[in-house]
Structure 1
């Protein structure tokens, strides 16, 4: 991916359709109602309000939203942890964790998720010292798995029954 991501201030980008402009930027507390609405609308895994607030307060540089015409249409919520590497077995590292990604259906296929992922990953490395990043994804979520693979993630494990409906998750990781 050759997209040049900046880490300070809003970044205006052109969608893959060549006509829809969007902005990616750090989330603010004013965005949380929109973020929670997107989470409830597009993902079966929902979190309490305090969970979003906590991530925004602790890792503001890696909590990213996307807007089209001033309307929030996507978000990525991340954190940084210290623990065993998912890539270099037996090594303790600072690692980023992509907790949740959501984009409204009408804003998909424009490159928004890719841009938000790249900005969050870069922020986790630059601002929080992460040397790798990981995420969990439903084994049936082929579009998301494809996106993550394009960004350099590899499946490093499988978590049986990870989701509340019993579906397994792939654990995917990427060096930063």
Structure 2
């Protein structure tokens, strides 16, 4: 497994994973826009050691001041439970630290137990709640934070 910066040519395979991972999937244009965002950093995990490999997961986040804001992280269904999300998140945190980030933030559904297990394992802590954050279900979001200076 290798982790590389996401390219526009990666968007279609990312969309396949996105549609199966999220009830409210991002559009192709949202991903394209994120690739050109000045504060955005975006990665794909590929199944082999060349740039033509099968995309198995992705991570889109932004660095704003000294904060990492996690927007999206997902892994293809057939590759889940193989540690790919952990690898992507670790690499992203390492990069964010090199660029001066001190903390990371994200929102997650309380019902997303696999994601919560990953975030707890990676040292995130709940710091709040956003009521009605997910309009399609009315579900609230848990707001999680991690001090990036803590060992992974």
Q: CA deviation at 1:119?
A: 1.1
Q: Please tell me whether the aligned partners of residues 95 and 134 of structure 1 are also in contact (alpha carbons under 8 angstroms).
A: yes
Q: Any unmatched runs of 5+ in structure 1?
A: 1-21, 83-93
Counterparts in 2 of 1:71 and 1:77: CA distance versus 1, 3 Å: same
Counterparts in 2 of 1:52 and 1:120: CA distance versus 1, 3 Å: same
Match of 1:28 in 2: 7
Q: Please tell me whether the aligned partners of residues 55 and 79 of structure 1 are also in contact (alpha carbons under 8 angstroms).
A: no
1:109 to 2:110 alignment: no
Q: CA deviation at 1:154?
A: 0.2
Q: 1:101, 1:133 → 2: CA distance? A: 13
Q: 2:32, 2:58 → 1: CA distance? A: 13
- Normalising by structure 2, report the TM-score: 0.86
Counterparts in 2 of 1:39 and 1:59: CA distance versus 1, 3 Å: farther
Match of 1:38 in 2: 17
Q: 2:93, 2:126 → 1: CA distance? A: 17
Q: CA deviation at 1:60?
A: 8.3
1:73 to 2:44 alignment: no
The Cα offsets for residues 22-67 of structure 1, whole Å up to 9 and x where unpaired, read as 2222111111111122111211132232321232223688311112
Q: Please tell me whether the aligned partners of residues 98 and 135 of structure 1 are also in contact (alpha carbons under 8 angstroms).
A: yes
Counterparts in 2 of 1:48 and 1:137: CA distance versus 1, 3 Å: same
- Normalising by structure 1, report the TM-score: 0.75
Where do residues 150-161 of structure 1 align in structure 2 (5 Å cutoff)? 150-161=121-132
Q: 1:135, 1:60 → 2: CA distance? A: 16
The Cα offsets for residues 71-108 of structure 1, whole Å up to 9 and x where unpaired, read as 112111111224xxxxxxxxxxx211110111111001
118, 123, 139: which is aligned to 2:90? 118
